[in-house]
Chain A
Amino acid sequence: MIRVENISHSYGEVQALRDISFEVKKGQIFGLIGPDGAGKTTLIRILTTLILADQGTAFIDGMEVQKEYKKIRSQIGYMPGRFSLYEDLSILENLNLFAAIFGTTLDENYHLIEDIYKQIEPFKHRRAGQLSGGMKQKLALSCAMIHAPNVIFLDEPTTGVDPVSRKEFWQMLKTLKERGITILVSTPYMDEAAMCSEVALIHDGQFLDIDTPEKIISKYKPLLYRAKSSKNNALLKEIRNSGWTKSAYLNGEFVHFTVEDLNDVNKIRVFIQKQEIEIMEFKEVNPSIEDCFMDLMHSPTE
């Protein structure tokens, strides 16, 4: 459904994308996962025909993004990272406008967005600018879906949205996926990777890995430990100073660190105890996508 071939793009001196290639099959949720500035938005804007890539090409449903951009525009849905609907128009007015631009009406395609729209319909006369983050997000998704697109592109749809709405949102994406719609979604939240059929870990304009979330985790090699203290920052510093860890970083309320073998773990434990840092927890854990990301980021070539 989406095929990207060797795309590179730069803004002046800054290389935003370096030779990216991948493919997304129909009816998949493809997650583009990486920190801010990794190149997620640039890639999405190239695929939605908003910018022209310096090199390489891409096809949406067999249509080339530079030559057939007009056809593509009528068949894709796009939800930009920043809320881009008219804040001075009401929910209903926004929907009607975008329906009209695509040559359809709200009534005609009501069934397509019903699940999502129903939740905000009681407020349909409220101006978009007065909606909460979660409601804005639902409206934006409704507007992106109003013309029955085959593919939708969502640029960080869950950024700045509360955890409950985030969960609801992913549930909505799942429903769309079941209807056969292909979804390309970017997110900086690593925990959302598990909801995708396939993910690409992107960092500094390059894909670190691209696979199903399960496989990415199963490929993780080092031993991963987590530790917790009342002074996590000091703990992290000492773990790094010990010299037996490959990498160590904060992960939520824990410090994660990787080691080559079990001997090193014990050495680290002894080292920390000498520093008189109270340890509240110290155990081996299974890696998450974030741990995979950190590991891949630190191993330059594979």
Chain B
Amino acid sequence: MKVLFFILEKEFRQIFRNKAMLPIIFVIPVVQLMILSFAVDYEIKNLKLTVVDADRGVYSRKLTEKFTASGYFHLLEYTSDNEEAANLMHGWKTDVILVIPNGFDKDLMNDEVPLVQLRMDAVDGTKAGMAAGYSQAIIRDFIFELVGEEMISMNKQPEFLYKGEVIPINYYNPYMNYKVYMVPGILAILVTMVGAFLSSMNIVREKELGTIEQINVTPIARYQFILGKTIPFWVIGLFEFSIGLVVARLVFDIHVEGSLFVLYFFTSIYLFLILGFGLLISTVTATQQQAMFISWFFLVIFLLMGGLFTPVENMPDWAQKFTYVNPVRFFIEVLRGIMLKGAGFTDLLNQFMLISGYAILLIWFAVRRYKKVDN
């Protein structure tokens, strides 16, 4: 026990004396939380719209007005030249082309189904998807209003008005505020990154500097050494997480709906998992450079497939299956659950089993892999 205390003392001293490590620990998380949360916003405004109006009728003008009035689109060009519009898209000038064919007015008057064409620049898939969604909603609204007016003026009951429309209500995040949605996820990413990087660089650093040579001939036990390496980063990880929570509260006004105790309980276990992962990398690599690359390799996959940037449900089947071994996915679920929905421990039992299971497995591997003797 006394030995462990001395090793912990040594580790903390070294961490606080490392001029490069301190900024990583304190400044970077706060800065990233602020930048990422403000920058990652899926609402897209000011899409550049080109309208190719071959009809030049009343309704085609009305439809164009409806697009610009929505606030999502900015009318770049109003033309009847299809070629010109195509060139604009090719030259990155326009995002969306709305083609209104000749005879649009007439078709509407004659109760025919009018056809319009939408063309998106799909180089940025997310943007194209959003643009398509907005456009469809606008066109649907337009037809809805138009048909409604007409029916009323003809003193007819517009039948489909009674068919009802689906009006979604967003629970737990009523205004679909992306910050509410992003902040817990980014918090999870920060805890993961700081924990994994710091711990994966640690034992390997002793290998690189040669100091492990001196430690290995001492009677120090493996568990003492590994614990001495783990506990400081566990404490730092929890500290970082707390900073993140304070920032979430003060800057983004996100309150933790659920119990703080459950939140910290999960974070503690998750940190053991991440530290075990880092230690495992540290024991199988020989230099800090190798450790850095291997951690990056795994972290990029874990983070991108963690459900923050692309919902897990949108992934192909094989990728969804893969996320079952992705701890980041479960931690994001846990944080969103507790912070936004007020989920309790029993709601998160599955995640608890998975996270603690992986934690035990990784630490066990790391201790097994760390040998004081080599061949």
Interface residues of A (CB under 8 A from B): 48-52, 69-70, 73-74, 76, 78, 80, 82-89, 93, 96-98, 100-103, 143
Contacts and interface: CB of A to CB of B under 8 A. Distances in A.
Contacts of B218: 73-74, 98, 101-102
Contact of A101 (B14, B220, B375): B220
Interface centre among B209, B372, B374 (most CB of A within 10 A): B209
A93 B6 CA distance: 10
A98 B211 CA distance: 12
17 contacts: A49-B217, A49-B373, A50-B213, A50-B217, A50-B372, A50-B373, A52-B375, A78-B214, A80-B210, A82-B210, A84-B211, A84-B214, A85-B214, A93-B10, A98-B218, A100-B2, A102-B218
A146 to B, nearest CB: 10
Interface majority SS on B: helix, strand, loop or mixed? helix
Contacts of B216: 50
Contact of B10 (A70, A83, A84, A97): A97
B117 interface: no
Contacts of A85: 211, 214
B6 A96 contact: yes
Interface in B79-93: none
B301 interface: no
B13 interface: yes
A96 B210 CA distance: 19
B69 interface: no
B17 A88 contact: yes
A84 B219 contact: no
Contacts of B346: none
Contacts of B220: 101
B374 A50 contact: yes
Nearest first, the 6 closest Cβ-Cβ pairs linking A and B are A100-B6, A84-B214, A74-B219, A78-B217, A84-B210, A82-B210
Size category of the B interface is 20 to 34
Given A101-B220, A102-B219, A83 B374 contact: no
A97 B14 CA distance: 13
A88 B14 CA distance: 6
Interface string B210-249: 1111111111100000000000000000000000000000
Interface of B: 2-3, 6-7, 10, 13-14, 17-18, 209-220, 372-375
A152 to B, nearest CB: 11
A182 B93 CA distance: 83
Nearest to A51: B374
B217 A73 contact: yes
Nearest to A71: B219
Given A80-B210, A89-B10, A89-B14, 19 more contacts: A50-B216, A50-B373, A50-B374, A52-B375, A73-B217, A74-B218, A76-B217, A80-B213, A82-B213, A83-B210, A85-B211, A85-B214, A86-B14, A87-B209, A88-B14, A96-B6, A100-B2, A101-B6, A101-B215
A284 B212 CA distance: 50
A87 B216 CA distance: 17
Contacts of A93: 10, 13
A143 B212 CA distance: 14
Contacts of A84: 209-214
Contacts of B217: 48-50, 73, 76, 78
A80 B214 contact: yes
A78 B216 CA distance: 10
Contacts of B213: 50, 80, 82, 84
A153 to B, nearest CB: 9
Nearest to B212: A84
B5 to A, nearest CB: 8
Interface centre among A50, A73, A84, A143 (most CB of B within 10 A): A84
A135 to B, nearest CB: 17
A86 B2 contact: no
A84 B207 CA distance: 10
Contacts of A52: 373, 375
A100 B375 CA distance: 28
A294 to B, nearest CB: 32
Nearest to B214: A84
Contacts of A70: 219
B75 to A, nearest CB: 63
Contacts of B375: 51-52
A83 B216 CA distance: 14
B204 to A, nearest CB: 15
Contacts of A83: 210
Contacts of B2: 100, 103
B219 A86 contact: no
A51 B373 contact: yes
